[in-house]
Amino acid sequence: MIYFFSAIVLLGVLITIHEFGHFIVARYFGVYVQRFSIGMGPVFYKKNDKQGTEFALSALPLGGYVAMLSDRAIAEDESILDGLSKEQLANTFESKPKWQRALIMLAGPIANFLLAILVFAIIYSNSVERQFDATVVLNETSKIENQYTFEGGDVLEFIEGKKINNLQDLRLELLSHSGKSGFINLGFKDNLGNRFEEAIEVNNFLSDESEQINPENALGFSIDLKLRPYIGQIADGLPVASSGLQVNDLILSVESQPIKYFDDIREVIASSRSVIQIEVLRDSQRLYFDVELSKRLVEGVEQNYIGIVPGTRLNIIESIVKGAKETFNMSYKTITFIAYKLGQRINKGKNFSGKLILKDLGLGMTKKVTPLIKEFSFKDIKGSIPKRKNNAHKGDHGKLLVIAGDEGFGGAGIMSAESGLKTGAGLVRLLTRKLHISASLARNPEIMVSGADNAQDLEENLSWPNAIVAGPGMFENFWSEQILYKLLVTIADKKIPTLLDAGALRLITNKAFSKMKLHDQMVLTPHPGEAADMLKVSTQEIQKDRIESAKKLQKKYNCIIVLKGQGTIICNKKEMYLCASGGPELAVAGTGDILSGVIGSLIAQGLAPIDAAIAGVGLHAQAGENFATDVGRIGLAASELIPQIRKLLN
């Protein structure tokens, strides 16, 4: 409960500073401020200043506002003009130049940034920052493969180019790579001072919350944090205080014994005489000081000690600079309280959220409340991917039929069939227009491809598969219409698990298909534009409430729905799922065709259609993220996902 009340107080401070930023800049530019209010609920304090502004405090510090006189407010309620002077009436918000209005609006968030810099600067200027060397420890518990060249005792200096000076640097940089699959570049220094780099392969790095407590232990080897021998604080009242040593001195030797780490000092002074000589480095100069040791009893045994604390201290300028850097770094992260919010995961809210960090304030809401939608990523579904037995044969892994590729759109069927094959289906057959046969065989001779001139050519193929994908590369054309019609009539009784995508989704909205009944084991995978056609609404309406749109699609078509897009939503009659993975790298033609093949392949291999949809979406999204990590977010060609998918499967 103390966390809850602390958060309330913190929010109150942040809101007050934020609104004060708006207020002070508005005042500076002469805008008449009617009210400066902090909090919600009953007002327990009110006061008017000489300029006519009312200041109010309410019981709960969970909100606030600065009410500036504006033309809009006057238009809505002319009674606010009562008692105002000519000068006040002349200084509405709209009366000011655009640049002044922009600064007034920006002043709130800028005030919060300045507060953060000030708080960090105060903390840094009044604290001792311990400087560590992150030394590598290799032992029998180390999981790292022997192909790497670093050895025990080497120092980890950089992570992805960022210098590691202390424990906070180490942990924050590692946490910034949470969920990553791919490589993390580490920079090392060996005992001879030679520097080199290694790329450590990780898979869903720090995906387990328990690993995030001490992320330095998740690299596959142990890290021993050894204190560098800087002087961070000198004890008053002891002989060392008058020895000439200063804060931030680097100790090089004690009694002519080289000192590498702070623990080395204890070993040297344990058996030393009462006065020792210490060599330090200060402003690039080597200096020598005679220091009288102090004595203390530890469990009845007398011990020597100097009276210094390891670390460094920053002056006020250095503290402000570091505070600004830390504020900038932290601004990339979004702390959310109590539970994750849906608006942070989908639509435009995702653009304004950084890396999400949950602080539940000790309430444990995620365990007490059933979520509206279940979130998942690759780490949640990788256990459901079909495994292969040592004595398996191709018939054990399913037969997938892909019906796709009308005239001019042969690539869609070819990509969908290829992704089905390379996701693990034992046998894949592509039924397409005859003019695409040569291209398919040239690309993938392993795929059985046949051409169809009419619906009768389809019938002989429908007794063969245990999963069907139809729709990629189809459109409103006689060939597509008759093929799809024949398919839906035939499978109505057989209930073969079938996925409809792309052109097939738009075709089923036509009058000719209106009496077709789709069964609940069919999977429909619309993007927002196709979903809009299926519900006879605009794409904007689909995107405005994607969850409700998915529900409406499921209810109307009685199928499993995969509403594609940023934050893909999957639902059946009972449950809804939200994919947390994937990004803008997937926003390119053909990635939906790849996804159809992946899901169809997983169904063919024995997964229930809803499970195949969830696993396929998670696998597809993670493949996109891995491509973005290796290459970047721009320039993905859809077929480049297939090697990434196959790598994840294995």
pLDDT of the residue at 57: 92
Q: Do domains 241-310 and 398-649 have the same CATH topology?
A: no
Q: How confident is the model at residue 174 (pLDDT cuts 50, 70, 90)?
A: confident
Adjacent-strand bridge partners of 200: 184
pLDDT greater than 70 at residue 142: no
Mean pLDDT of 228-233: 94
Amino acid sitting at position 115: L
pLDDT greater than 70 at residue 231: yes
pLDDT of the residue at 204: 75
What are the tokens at 8? Answer: 């309330």
76-80, 435-439, 534-538: least confidently modelled range: 76-80
For residues 501, 505, 506, 512, the Cα torsion angle rounded to the nearest 10 degrees is: 140
Q: How confident is the model at residue 307 (pLDDT cuts 50, 70, 90)?
A: very high
pLDDT greater than 60 at residue 286: yes
pLDDT of the residue at 407: 92
pLDDT of the residue at 208: 72
Q: How confident is the model at residue 199 (pLDDT cuts 50, 70, 90)?
A: confident
pLDDT tens track for 605-648? 999 999 999 999 999 999 999 999 899 999 999 999 999 999 99
pLDDT greater than 60 at residue 145: no
pLDDT top residue among 90 and 358: 90
pLDDT of the residue at 143: 58
Mean pLDDT of 437-446: 96
pLDDT greater than 90 at residue 369: no
pLDDT top residue among 474 and 214: 474
pLDDT greater than 90 at residue 249: yes
pLDDT of the residue at 171: 86
Q: Do 490 and 470 form a contact (C-beta atoms < 8 A)? A: no
**H helices then E strands: how many in the chain?**
20, 28
Mean pLDDT of 382-405: 92
For residues 579, 584, 586, 592, the Cα torsion angle rounded to the nearest 10 degrees is: 70
pLDDT greater than 60 at residue 15: yes
pLDDT top residue among 300 and 146: 300
How many percent of the chain have pLDDT more than 70? 96
Mean pLDDT of 313-332: 88
* CATH T-level topology, domain 398-649: UDP-N-acetylmuramoyl-L-alanine:D-glutamate ligase (3.40.1190)
For residues 429, 435, 436, 440, the Cα torsion angle rounded to the nearest 10 degrees is: 80
C-alpha–C-alpha distance, residues 607 and 595, integer Å: 15
Superfamily of domain 132-227: PDZ domain (2.30.42.10)
pLDDT of the residue at 285: 95
C-alpha–C-alpha distance, residues 622 and 611, integer Å: 17
185-199, 232-246, 597-611: least confidently modelled range: 185-199
pLDDT greater than 60 at residue 495: yes
Contacts of 103 (CB under 8 A, 6+ apart): 25, 29
pLDDT tens track for 448-461? 999 987 777 787 78
Q: How confident is the model at residue 102 (pLDDT cuts 50, 70, 90)?
A: very high
Q: Tell me phi and psi for residue 235, to 5 degrees.
A: -70, 130
What are the tokens at 552? Answer: 């409406």
Q: How confident is the model at residue 511 (pLDDT cuts 50, 70, 90)?
A: confident
Q: Do 17 and 115 form a contact (C-beta atoms < 8 A)? A: yes
When the pLDDT of each residue in the chain is averaged and rounded to a whole number, the result is 89
pLDDT tens track for 521-536? 899 999 999 999 999 9
pLDDT of the residue at 3: 66
Q: What is the DSSP letter of 203?
A: S
pLDDT of the residue at 352: 67
Q: How confident is the model at residue 8 (pLDDT cuts 50, 70, 90)?
A: confident
What is the second-level CATH architecture of the domain 241-310?
Answer: Roll (2.30)
pLDDT greater than 60 at residue 141: no
pLDDT of the residue at 360: 67
Contacts of 304 (CB under 8 A, 6+ apart): 269, 270, 272, 293, 294, 295
58-67, 207-216, 526-535: range with highest mean pLDDT: 526-535
Mean pLDDT of 236-252: 95
pLDDT greater than 80 at residue 111: yes
Which sequence spans correspond to the domains of the chain?
Answer: 2-124, 132-227, 241-310, 332-371, 398-649
pLDDT greater than 70 at residue 140: no
Neighbours of 373 (CB within 10 A): 18
Mean pLDDT of 416-432: 97
pLDDT greater than 90 at residue 83: no
pLDDT greater than 80 at residue 178: no
pLDDT of the residue at 311: 92
Q: How confident is the model at residue 202 (pLDDT cuts 50, 70, 90)?
A: confident
Adjacent-strand bridge partners of 279: 253, 288
Mean pLDDT of 371-376: 85
C-alpha–C-alpha distance, residues 54 and 37, integer Å: 8
39-48, 139-148, 245-254, 361-370: least confidently modelled range: 139-148
pLDDT top residue among 336 and 64: 64
C-alpha–C-alpha distance, residues 98 and 96, integer Å: 6
Q: In Å, how far from its chain's centre is CA 414?
A: 33
